[in-house]
Amino acid sequence: MTLVATNSFAAISVGDSIQVQYLFPNASNVIQTDSTTFTGSGDTLPIGPGYGTIFLGANSVLFDGTCCSSYAGASFNGVELTDLTNGGAFAGWTLQPGATFSPLVESMSGGSIFMNWQSSSDIGQATVAGVPEPTTWAMMLIGLGGLGAAMRSRRKHAVALAV
């Protein structure tokens, strides 16, 4: 369900100050603010006053809103998660397949992730994670090509021994 960020800059680092704000009924009205210093994967933050939990990892964030049956309709009803230490911590991150919030509006801007569950009635989970860089994909393809060449070489060697 999640991918790993390959750029060390695009990640939450131990010691980073992480803040979450629950916003309703618009993106400028803060209902609750919570913060923590990231100590490693498994750290948690609440989603507003009892609306769920955010599970933090260095390269992924899980928003778990399974506590609630629905969220009220408004121009914004959700959270802003911000890495106050690293303004580029979430650069290049995307919502991963399998999100069960419906409807869900998400956006990212460098050091912040916005999750908007306006009028959601199917509350569930959403994971946001880093996306591998093109060089990572290239290295993976080179590795697979090397494995294929090794297998082909073995097959030719086995046929020569059998003859």
**What pLDDT score was predicted for residue 5?**
35
Average pLDDT of adjacent 10-residue blocks, the chain of 163 residues: 39 89 87 91 84 82 71 76 86 70 65 76 62 67 86 70 62
pTM: 0.67
**What pLDDT score was predicted for residue 20?**
92
3-state SS of the chain?
Answer: CCCCCCCCCCCCCCCCEEEEEEECCCCCCEEEEEEEECCCCCEEEECCCCCCEEEECCCEEEEECCCCCCCCCCCCCEEEEEECCCCCCCCCCEECCCCCCECCEEEEECCEEEEECCCCCECCEEEEECCCCHHHHHHHHHHHHHHHHHHHHHHHHHHHHHC
**What pLDDT score was predicted for residue 121?**
56
